[in-house]
């Protein structure tokens, strides 16, 4: 008997025992003289089903999950006796054809089209699923045509600030310099986010292709992926992918025979949230302490080592191959308002079915809850959702119907950020969450400016006094003033956005700021 199976080598699946499952499958195949091809694929991003084991059948891939090592013998027996014999599957972990899983079927996967399907390190797999077709188009274009295609797509940076990518590229393109750089921001520090990691672990050639296209667009010959050190699996896969792409002539001194040079290296950060901010990141890349730089000059004019530099998030760069391959218009037909294309939402926190959900902008939190979440893990009602990482607003159920796009969120004093969505049930105490936001800023501030460095420390103290009912009314006024100072006086978004979760907590959950001290401190704090 001969067949093919897939077990992910992505870090969530690995943390849930995917290696043990793969080893047990191989051992079973040897023992039962099954001629098995076992592919270590990426993940589909349906984390509650990991390790998701798939079997190739004539109807398509069939899924079992979540599979533990102890399930392997019975699952293999079901595959051999039933699935591959055209009989009904009897094992309780049998999920049906993978493509028919509603969590996947309801998505619009442009960036994550290959995730979980291919072997991340197989160039053959990548090319078979449209890989490098964007690069080949780009090689036939002038640098200005590449930039114009990106402008036409309406793509805006996925790292949080939503700055139009095409305009950034145009600035670097127009900057006169012999030396330019492409820097990929893979620091991914927001709470509840994992989309960058999923790209790097499941489809690394897509990111590499996006960076090569960026280099062709602006005339850069060197790129760096600034990766958080907590992502060792991504590091390993990226390093291998870069070697493979170099050996195949996609990277190096003669990119696809074009005579153009582009070399790429991974650099590991040292776990500081502020090093995700682009100018601190550049300082860190230069070997210095990660402190925010004054702007101007913009990195696009004076970036890494003082040279014009594109700094883009992993997801922004990963959208580029599709845009070049299908055209700017094809990408920009998706979305709502001026938020074009898709956003990979990352469902996390107190949720049953956490995972990656790529949808066009314009869906709502309610859509995500109804169609994907499966409810809270605790089984209790949802009280708040924080969207956009630790600097994002806490939204109450009355705002769950808001359109998930940059414009509507901005009108509601909220941010989409990197698409992280963290769910809290009704045991959450919002004063404690506001305090947590200030405390996070205390821990992560780079310390360069006073409103952030000192303001966040005072913010924790003021919130403690409010919690302890120590002149609560006067301290609420002080908190409002302090937030105002941080918003208007901070040098970067770390300090100016920390008040977003704080003000949303007291605006939309005022009752938690009036509880007697005995109740407030006794409730459990849920940090997602
Ligand atoms: C405190 C702070 C942390 C940030 N962390 C990240 C991060 O982890 N990843 C990221 O891509 N952008 C992050 N950003 C945004 C970057 O400064 C920058 O806007 C982004 O890398 C630009 O790429 P984009 O235009 O593709 O979004 C952060 C910003 C701030 C203020
Ligand atoms: S706002 Fe905070 S993180 Fe940003 S420069 Fe000022 S001290 Fe540093």
- Span 151-163, average pLDDT: 97
Give the tokens for residue 294.
Answer: 């004054």
Closest ligand to C-alpha of residue 492 is 2
Give the tokens for residue 511.
Answer: 């009752």
CB 382 within 8 A of CB 424: yes
CB 476 within 8 A of CB 506: yes
Return residue ranges of the chain for CATH 3.10.20.600.
Answer: 335-425
Return residue ranges of the chain for CATH 3.40.30.10.
Answer: 3-101
- Tell me the C-alpha distance between 148 and 150, whole Å: 5
Identify the band that residue 519 occupies on the pLDDT scale cut at 50, 70 and 90: low
Is the CB–ligand 2 distance for residue 448 below 6 Å? yes
The fold of the 430-513 domain, in CATH, is: de novo design (two linked rop proteins) (1.20.1440)
Instruction: Record the pTM.
Output: 0.96
Measured in angstroms, how far is the CA atom of residue 163 from the centroid of ligand 1? 10
Domain 3-101 has CATH 3.40.30.10: yes
- Span 429-433, average pLDDT: 97
If you classify domain 123-333 with CATH, what class do you get? alpha beta
Return residue ranges of the chain for CATH 3.40.50.11540.
Answer: 123-333
If you classify domain 335-425 with CATH, what class do you get? alpha beta
**Nearest-CA residue for atom 18 of ligand 1:** 278
- Over residues 69-91, the pLDDT tens digits come to 999 999 999 999 999 999 999 99
- Over residues 378-393, the pLDDT tens digits come to 999 999 999 999 999 9
**Nearest-CA residue for atom 1 of ligand 2:** 495
Q: For a ligand 1 pocket test, name from 182, 190, 278 the mutation site with the most ligand atoms within 8 angstroms of its C-beta.
A: 278
Is the CB–ligand 2 distance for residue 499 below 6 Å? no
CB 151 within 8 A of CB 164: yes
Is the CB–ligand 2 distance for residue 490 below 6 Å? yes
- In the sheet with 181-186, reading across from the earlier edge strand, the strands are 263-268, 222-227, 181-186, 309-313
- Over residues 466-508, the pLDDT tens digits come to 999 999 999 999 999 999 999 999 999 999 999 999 999 999 9
């Amino acid at each position: 008997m001969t067949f093919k199976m897939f077990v992910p080598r992505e870090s969530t699946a690995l943390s849930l025992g995917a290696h043990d499952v793969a080893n047990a499958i191989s051992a079973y195949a040897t023992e039962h003289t099954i001629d098995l091809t076992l592919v270590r694929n990426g993940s589909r991003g349906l984390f509650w089903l990991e390790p998701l084991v798939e079997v190739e059948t004539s109807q398509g891939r069939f899924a079992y999950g979540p599979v533990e090592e102890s399930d392997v013998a019975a699952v293999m027996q079901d595959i051999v006796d039933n699935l591959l014999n055209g009989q009904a599957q009897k094992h309780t972990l049998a999920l049906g054809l993978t493509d028919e899983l509603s969590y996947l079927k309801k998505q619009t996967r442009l960036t994550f089209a290959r995730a979980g399907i291919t072997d991340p390190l197989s160039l053959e797999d990548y090319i078979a699923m449209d890989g490098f077709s964007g690069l080949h188009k780009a090689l036939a274009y002038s640098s200005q045509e590449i930039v114009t295609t990106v402008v036409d797509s309406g793509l805006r940076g996925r790292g949080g600030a939503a700055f139009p990518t095409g305009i950034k590229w145009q600035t670097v393109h127009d900057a006169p310099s012999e030396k330019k750089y492409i820097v990929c921001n893979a620091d991914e520090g927001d709470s509840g986010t994992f989309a960058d990691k999923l790209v790097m672990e499941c489809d690394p050639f897509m990111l590499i292709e996006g960076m090569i296209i960026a280099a062709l667009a602006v005339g850069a010959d060197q790129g760096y992926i600034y990766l958080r050190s907590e992502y060792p699996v991504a590091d390993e896969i990226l390093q291998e992918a870069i070697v493979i792409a170099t050996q195949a002539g996609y990277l190096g001194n003669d990119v696809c025979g074009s005579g153009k040079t582009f070399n790429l290296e991974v650099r590991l950060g040292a776990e500081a949230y502020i090093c995700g901010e682009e100018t601190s990141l550049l300082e860190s890349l230069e070997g210095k302490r990660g402190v925010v730089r004054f702007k101007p000059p913009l990195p696009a004019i004076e970036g890494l080592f003082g040279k014009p530099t594109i700094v883009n998030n992993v997801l922004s760069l990963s959208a580029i191959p599709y845009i070049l391959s299908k055209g700017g218009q094809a990408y920009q037909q998706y979305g709502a308002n001026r938020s074009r294309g898709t956003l990979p939402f990352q469902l996390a926190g107190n949720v049953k079915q956490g995972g990656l959900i790529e949808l066009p902008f314009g869906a709502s939190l309610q859509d995500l809850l109804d169609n994907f979440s499966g409810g809270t893990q605790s089984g209790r009602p949802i009280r708040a959702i924080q969207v956009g990482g630790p600097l994002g607003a806490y939204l109450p159920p009355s705002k769950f119907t808001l359109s998930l796009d940059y414009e509507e969120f901005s009108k509601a004093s909220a941010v989409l950020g990197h698409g992280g969505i963290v769910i809290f049930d009704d045991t959450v105490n919002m004063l404690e969450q506001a305090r947590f936001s200030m405390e996070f800023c205390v821990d992560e501030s780079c310390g360069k400016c006073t409103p952030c460095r000192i303001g966040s420390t005072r913010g924790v103290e003021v919130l403690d006094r409010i919690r302890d009912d120590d002149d609560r009314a006067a301290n609420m006024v002080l908190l409002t003033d302090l937030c105002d100072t941080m918003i208007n006086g901070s040098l970067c978004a770390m300090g100016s956005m920390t008040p977003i979760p704080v003000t949303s907590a007291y605006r939309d959950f005022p009752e938690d700021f009036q509880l007697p001290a005995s109740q407030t401190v006794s409730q459990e704090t849920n940090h997602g």
